[in-house]
Every structure is written in C-alpha cells, then in structure tokens.
Structure 1
Amino acid sequence: MTVLTGPEEARTAAAVPKGGRWIDHWEPDDEQFWARIGRRVAARNLAWSILTEHLGFCVWLLWSIAVLNLSSVGMQLSVGQTLWLTTLPNLVGAAMRIPYTFAPARFGGRNWTIVSALLLLIPCGLFVYAIENPDIPFWVLLVIAATTGLGGGNFASSMANITHFYPTGKQGLPLGLNAAGGNLGTSVTQLAMPPLIVAFGLVAVGWVWMPLVLLAATGAYLFMNNLRKATSAYTVREMGAIARKPQTVIMSVLYIGTFGSFIGYSFSFGVLIKSQFPDIKGADYIWLGAFAGSLARPLGGWLADRFGGARVTAVDFLLMALGIGAVAMAVRAGSWPVFLAAFLFVFITTGIGNGSTYKMIPAIFRAKAMEGVDPADGPAVERALTRARRNAAAAIGITSAVGAFGGVLVQQAFRISLEQTGGIGPALVGLTVFYALCMTLTWAVYLRKVRIGETRMSLAQAGV
C-alpha cells in the first residue's frame, strides 16, 4: 500500500487499498483527491477491465472464424445453418448486456469482473467439445455457439463499472480506451485465428483463450476494487424507468448508428468483400476494419472531452454518411482500392462515434441531475452527482445492448439487399439515410438552443 502523510492522506490510503477490498471513500470529482490518489487507482482498475473485456470480444467472435473451417473437422452445414452460427452469438451477446449492466451494482465491479472472466471458460470448453464431436446435432451446436454471447455481455458490465472511477469531465478518453480494448478483440480473433488453425487445427481456437481468461480473473482478484457508492442494486422498476427515459432512448438510437454499424460491419465485411470482389482474398483484409475502428474509439473519446460529445457525434454521422456514399460509388465503379479505403474510413468513423456517444451519456445525466440544484449546496450537489452516475451507468448498459442488436439489423440489411437485388446498393442507401437522420437528431436534441432554467442554451453548452 502507498504510504502517505497527513490525516486526510492516511484516511484516503486506508480507504483505497491496492486491490481486493471495498473502497468506501471515492470522490473523483474532487480535484485534490483525483490528483493525489484517484487517478492511479482508476488507471489500475481500467487496465484489468480492458483485458477482461478484450477477451470477451475474442470469445464472442469465435464462431465467426470457426464456421469457415468446420468442413475440416467433418461438419457439413448449409449456408443458412452457418449464418445462424454467427447471428445467434450476436443476438445473445446483445441480450446479455442488460443483466451484465446491473451486475456490478449488485455484486461489486471487481467481484463481477472476476465472475464474468471465468464464465468465458464455458464457451471455450464447449467449443473444444463440439470440434472433437463433429456428429453432435445441429441444435446442440447452436446452443454451444450461443454461449459465446457471454463475451458480448462483458462490455456492458465493464463500461458501467469504469464510469464510476473517473471524473465526469474526463470520462471520454478512459471509456474510449476501455471500449477500444474490447473492440480490438474482434480484429485479434479475425487476424490471429486463421494461422493458429493452420498450425494446430480448429480445436486450438477453444484452448488458446483459457489461460488468458485465468490470467484476467487472477489480475482482477488481486488488483481491482469495488466501489461502495456504485453498488446500490437496481430494482426492476428502476431499470424500466431508466430505459424509458427519453435520453436513454435517444442515445440508444445514436448508438445503433455507431456501435451497431461497427459490429455489423465487422461480422459482414468478409461476406461483402467476397460478394462484391470475388477475386480478392477476403481473409487477408477482414481484420483491418475492426482494427481501424477499435483504434479510433479512444480518439472519439478524446475529441469529445475537448470539443463536446454532441458536436463530435453530429460531425461524425455526417462523415459516416459520406463514407458509405463513397463505398457505394466504389461498388458501382468496381474499384477494389476505393472500396477498401472507403470502408476503412467508415470503420474509423464508427470508432470515433462510439467514443463520442459514450462521453455524452454521463454528461447528459449529470446536466439533467443538476437542473435546479444550487451549486453552493454541497450535500444537494453530491446527491445529484451520485444519482447521475448511477443512472448513467445503467443507461450505458441499456444503450450498449440496443447498439449490439443494431449490429444484427445491419447484417440483415445486407442479407436482404443481396437476396433481393443481387447487390448491396440498396442497403448502402438505407444506411446513408439513417446516418443523416442520426445527425439531425443529435443537432435537434443536443446542439439546438432551448430554454434551460432562465437562459437559452443547448445541452452541448451544458457540457454534453
């Protein structure tokens, strides 16, 4: 434990152990507390949160790579069956984000990180069983694939937990780093698994993650903390009330546009390359999109911290629409270089938008909670900020779940477009229109000036 001097430092040091215990005193919005010890403790928890979330994404995407190699172990599936093996994990992962959102508040962030990491052993072990028993019924294979959705749930609990560790005005970058570390699991799986399969066989895809999962669980046990203020369990009524809040609904729509696009494109990129440019070896490029989008997410958080989440998000949706328009032009021209460059640009904009929207959520609930509160009334301000953090953590999880479901919608848009027209043009037009609507929605709700208290101002001017 760090040795500090003075009565306040001694009290703080006793309240903030290295890891493995509860923290009773945590005031990240207190600049002195944050500079003295808060930043260091938050960074340590963030590091282990990133690792666990990263492994969750790796496991979540496991079957998207495995389905391309099932014939090597004697499994012969139809195209429809193959699509179900990739779609079901996405659906389950989205659904799991709801309970995972509230798990840290019920059990403690450190405690749930340990549990959520160890739960990843289930899909990994079942994957090994499935590959070693290729004659199992298809419904059993579907159930096994569905368990990888546990990895998709990790994102929601990780983000809901980490938001409590950081000051409201400095959450964009850490939330962006946390999310990017998880999102990178998508490209890591797509990049690392094919050569692993060639070298050791398909079964290795299940075994390789197990020691890393155990490492993450051990690290969380030793070095993470639970925050006492963040562990007030939600009732079903409270959960429903937060889900029905207009700001939660609006941000869920925007997150469909950003994360829904990211995960939908990540699952579909290889198929799109194969359908539009059959002479190109898609496996050499499929990982680039998720990689670019993941790296861009912290940039979105940083930009949002600097210029405001709403401003960055509005501009980003404009860029997304322009990027998809460039993809459509490349498809019509049959230009592979332009197609690749334009789609990578779109992936980057999805990452930036993911980071900026997640910066917006805590700021929105903070601005709403502070309406009518006297800044000089310390206890009232503290109650308002505590309520805002709690509601924002819940909204983040709900929004993440809806966004993940949005990925399924993107996948289905491309599937329907290909089946009905033989091309992806109609899907691209629909996505362009949707991004334009999201840009308009962001402006109307957060950038347009309205009456707040006695003055006319936008929510963006209030820090959103």
Structure 2
Amino acid sequence: MTTTDPAPSRSSSWLPRWDPNDPAFWEAEGKARAWRTLAVTTFSLTLAFAVWFMVSAIVVRLNDIGFSLSQGQLFWLTAMPGLAAGITRLAHMFFVPMYGSRHTLTLGTLSLLIPAIGWGVAVQNPNTSFTTFMILAFLAGMGGGNFSSFMPSTSLFFPKKMQGTALGIQAGIGNFGVSLVQFLTPWVVGVNLFWFLGSDSERWTWAGRTSDIWLQNAAWVYIPWLLLGAALSWLVVRSVPIKANFGQQFAIFRDKHTWVMTSIYMMTFGAFSGLAAAFPLLIKNLYGGFENAPLPLKFAFLGPLIGSAVRVLFGLIADKTGGAVLTSISAVGMAVCALLVTPYLTPSSLEQFPLFVAAMLGIFFFSGIGNASTFRQMPIIFNPPQSAGVIGWTAAIAAFGPFIVSMSLSAITAATGNARLFFYLLAAFCVLNLGLNWYFYGRKGAEKPS
C-alpha cells in the first residue's frame, strides 16, 4: 500500500506518505511509528472495553444495594451495551478512512467520559429509574463501538506479514478490558476513592452479610485514564493518508467473503463478548441460591482473561501457521465445550459449580483462538482499504454478541426453565461455521486460502 497526502494543508494530522510493505520505508520510518501508535491505541482500546463491560459488573450488585429490578430487567441492562456497540461500530467503520485516526481515536475516547460519569451518579440515587439505567447502559456500549475504528486503523499501520501479530496484540490486550473491569470492581468498590467529591457509600447485602461499598467507583475509576488516553491519542497518533468515500466502503458488501467472515467472527467474538457480559449474571442466577454461594465476579473475570491472553498468543502463531487451520480448531473446541456446559445448567449442589466454570472457560479459550485467527485471515482475503472496512464491519456485527446472548438466555430460560437450548444452538452454529471456513479457506484448492 503506497499512499500520498490527500490534504497537504493538514500535515499536522496526516502523514505525507505511508508504505509499510516497502522494507526500506518500514525500517527507516514505519516500524517505530507503527509500534508507538499501537501502544497508545491499545491502551485506549483496553479502557474502551472496560467501559463497555463495566455494566455487567455493576448490575449484579444493583439489587443488593436496594434497587428492585427483575431478572428480565437485569438481562436487558446487560444486553443494552451490546446493542449500542453494534450500532456505533457500524458508524465507526467509516470514520478512519474519512476523518483519519487522530481525530477519530481522540474523540472516541473522550466520548466515554459520559457513561463513566453518568453511571457513578446514577447508582448513588435510589430513585434512579430503569429507563435511566437503560440509557446509561446504551451509552456505555459506545466503548465497544471504538473497536471498529481502532482495529482498522491499526491494520493500515502494519505490513501484511505482521497483520496477525499487530491485530492480535491490540485486540487481545484490548479484550483484557473485559477481565479488568470484572476483576477490579470488587476491589475498588470497597474503598472510598472519591471522598473529595463527597460520594456516599451504599449498604450492600450478600449471603446474609451487610457492609458498605461505593459502587460508583466501578465507573469513576476510569475517568482519569480516559483523559490520559485521549491526550496520548491526540499527541502521538497521526493519520495514514488513505481516503475512501461511502461508495468505496460499501463495495465490501458485494463480496461474498465479507458475509462468510462475518458469520465466522460472530461465532468467535460474538460468543466471547456475549458470554463475557452474561457470565456474572449466569453464575448468580444458577448458583447464587446455594449456601455459601460464590461471588460472581470472583470467577467471571477468568473467562475474558483466558480468551484475551489466548488471542494475543495465537495472533503470533497465526502469522506462522495461517489463520484457517486455527479457525477450524476454534470451531470444534467451542462446539464441544458448549455441549459440555449443558449438564450443569440445572444444578442440584455447589459441587457442580467447578465443572460448570471449567466448561465455560473452555468456550472462552477456543473463542480466543478464533478471534486471533480470523484477524489474520481478513487482511489476507481482502486488500486495503477493503480489509480495514471488512474488519470494521465484522467487528460491528459481532459486537451485537452481548445483546443477542443476553436476550437469548433470558428468553430461552423463561420459555424452557433453563439455558440448555441456547448452548445447543451455539454448538450447531459452530459446526456451520466450521464447514464455511473449511470450504472457502481451509481445504486443498480453497478459493481464498488464508
């Protein structure tokens, strides 16, 4: 990809030339800038994921501090950020080619201050309505939307041979934001971090015990870091001089491989993000009624932690082995683990809890492999700037995962009394995508070997 400055007058934001596939250019100028940009954007993307998933860590405690929300309403609050993420990702996929990385990433990070501040205020008011919580949950989903501008931007900065590594690092570490928020929340809510703002504690009751917590900290703790991320994005990031209008971007939808990869990525990241959002509430609903019930966030963070770490590792491996074979392994592993979960969805004792968690962690493990391998496949299957557009589009659709998973679990549980049908359907979807991946990308003589 060789590019020239589309607007010399905007040289402070736009690079005059960018050709990472030219070895001389890469060594002389490209490598240092690309890795420096990746460090800043990965930091900001991690925060974006934390804001996106902070709702899943907050809702499990709302009723325990005095709110009276039904199980259906709690699932709606868990689902709403996924709906918002999918919708806003559809917009974000166009931003980088049209407005550049610097402006898009800076403003995208700043926008997350709105839900971070709002949730901290709302949980302190016992009269906060369900409608207000729904609006704030939607706004938190803007953090998920950032993915579809951050990732396409990164794909433009690195040569094709390093796409799997770069995108695997950014997406994998960014995904740590999910685990971070679920791990960090139980710790930060136990301390009055923002005493200087006059924040009040809430009475938290769990398993017959009562204590003071500051649930607002679960949102406010990210405010200073978001400000830092926005400042770094503006100061460090520059825009690659590649421009595309809406017509050029929409050309990706005439390629059947766009739709095939959308289905495959929905299997991997859709399941990862959806189950990450629903996992804490699933633990509470299934095992919260037993004596000495486990704290949901004590175990829920392990799923996204494993999936994120695997994504980083297998991004490196995918550059060596190719993506298609790893995607097939991902599909098989996810299908098997989804079936292994089903016996533990109607528990009779806490003895079944470790097996339930193990099977769920298996789904996260294999989804992490697929999340890495698919992002190796897309830059090979498509040429820039189409590859950036496809990455943004598939990420947008997969971001609906939390909405689809949470709503499906709620509806299926209400209709059948348990969630087994959901996991049967997940296993079937994995088998379908195993066939698509093998036929188009994995078999001998495949149309687009990747």
Q: Same fold per TM (> 0.5)?
A: yes
1:213 to 213, 226, 238: 226
Question: Does the residue aligned with 1:423 lie in a helix, a strand or coil?
Answer: coil
The 1:320–1:68 alpha-carbon spacing in structure 2 relative to 1, beyond 3 Å, is closer
| Residue in 1 that maps onto 2:188 | 196
1:392 to 382, 387, 408: 387
**Separation in structure 2 between the aligned mates of residue 137 and residue 410 of structure 1, nearest angstrom:** 24
How far 1:182 moved relative to its partner? 1.6
**Separation in structure 2 between the aligned mates of residue 26 and residue 219 of structure 1, nearest angstrom:** 21
User: Are 2:430 and 1:435 aligned?
Assistant: yes
Question: Does the residue aligned with 2:68 lie in a helix, a strand or coil?
Answer: coil
Q: What is the correspondence of 1:86-97 to structure 2 with a 5 Å cutoff?
A: 86-97=78-89
How far 1:332 moved relative to its partner? 7.8
**Separation in structure 1 between the aligned mates of residue 29 and residue 229 of structure 2, nearest angstrom:** 24
**Separation in structure 1 between the aligned mates of residue 391 and residue 106 of structure 2, nearest angstrom:** 21
Question: Does the residue aligned with 1:135 lie in a helix, a strand or coil?
Answer: coil
The 1:151–1:332 alpha-carbon spacing in structure 2 relative to 1, beyond 3 Å, is closer
Deviations 1:267-301 (A, max 9, x none): 12123333443434123201100111111112232
**Separation in structure 2 between the aligned mates of residue 161 and residue 398 of structure 1, nearest angstrom:** 13
Q: What is the correspondence of 1:246-257 to structure 2 with a 5 Å cutoff?
A: 246-257=256-267
| Residue in 2 that maps onto 1:340 | 357
The 1:62–1:331 alpha-carbon spacing in structure 2 relative to 1, beyond 3 Å, is closer
Structure 1 stretch 406-415 or stretch 307-316: which is displaced more? 406-415
The 1:316–1:74 alpha-carbon spacing in structure 2 relative to 1, beyond 3 Å, is closer
The 1:219–1:397 alpha-carbon spacing in structure 2 relative to 1, beyond 3 Å, is same
How far 1:449 moved relative to its partner? 4.2
Conservation of the 8 A alpha-carbon contact between 1:447 and 1:458: no
Conservation of the 8 A alpha-carbon contact between 2:57 and 2:297: no
Conservation of the 8 A alpha-carbon contact between 1:168 and 1:363: yes
Question: Does the residue aligned with 2:116 lie in a helix, a strand or coil?
Answer: helix
Deviations 1:169-227 (A, max 9, x none): 21001101111122111111111112211223122223211110111111112221211
Question: Does the residue aligned with 1:285 lie in a helix, a strand or coil?
Answer: helix
**Separation in structure 1 between the aligned mates of residue 76 and residue 346 of structure 2, nearest angstrom:** 30
User: Are 2:420 and 1:425 aligned?
Assistant: yes
Gaps of 5+ in 2: 5-10, 193-213
**Separation in structure 2 between the aligned mates of residue 175 and residue 288 of structure 1, nearest angstrom:** 22
User: Are 2:288 and 1:274 aligned?
Assistant: no
Q: Over the residues paired in the alignment, what is the CA RMSD in angstroms?
A: 2.2
| Residue in 2 that maps onto 1:52 | 44
How far 1:120 moved relative to its partner? 0.9
Q: What is the correspondence of 1:322-333 to structure 2 with a 5 Å cutoff?
A: 322-329=336-343
Structure 1 stretch 428-437 or stretch 338-347: which is displaced more? 338-347
The 1:336–1:84 alpha-carbon spacing in structure 2 relative to 1, beyond 3 Å, is closer
Deviations 1:291-329 (A, max 9, x none): 111111122322221111112111221111122233235
Structure number with higher relative contact order (C-alpha < 8 Å, ≥ 6 residues apart): 2
**Separation in structure 1 between the aligned mates of residue 50 and residue 96 of structure 2, nearest angstrom:** 22
**Separation in structure 2 between the aligned mates of residue 198 and residue 72 of structure 1, nearest angstrom:** 14
Conservation of the 8 A alpha-carbon contact between 2:45 and 2:150: yes
| Residue in 1 that maps onto 2:372 | 355
Which residue identity does 2:231 align to in structure 1? T
Which residue identity does 1:345 align to in structure 2? G
User: Are 2:182 and 1:151 aligned?
Assistant: no
Which residue identity does 1:443 align to in structure 2? W
- Spell out structure 1 runs of 4+ moving beyond 6 A: none
Which residue identity does 1:349 align to in structure 2? F
Question: Does the residue aligned with 2:127 lie in a helix, a strand or coil?
Answer: coil
How far 1:256 moved relative to its partner? 0.8
The 1:73–1:277 alpha-carbon spacing in structure 2 relative to 1, beyond 3 Å, is closer
The 1:266–1:209 alpha-carbon spacing in structure 2 relative to 1, beyond 3 Å, is same
How far 1:458 moved relative to its partner? 4.5
User: Are 2:403 and 1:403 aligned?
Assistant: no
Identity fraction in percent: 33
User: Are 2:108 and 1:116 aligned?
Assistant: yes
User: Are 2:177 and 1:160 aligned?
Assistant: no
**Separation in structure 2 between the aligned mates of residue 325 and residue 69 of structure 1, nearest angstrom:** 30
Structure 1 stretch 138-147 or stretch 408-417: which is displaced more? 408-417
**Separation in structure 1 between the aligned mates of residue 425 and residue 85 of structure 2, nearest angstrom:** 25
Conservation of the 8 A alpha-carbon contact between 1:243 and 1:398: no
The 1:110–1:186 alpha-carbon spacing in structure 2 relative to 1, beyond 3 Å, is same
How far 1:104 moved relative to its partner? 1.3
Gaps of 5+ in 1: 1-11, 13-18, 366-387, 451-456
User: Are 2:21 and 1:25 aligned?
Assistant: no
Aligned length: 413
Which residue identity does 2:267 align to in structure 1? G
How far 1:89 moved relative to its partner? 1.4
How far 1:443 moved relative to its partner? 0.6
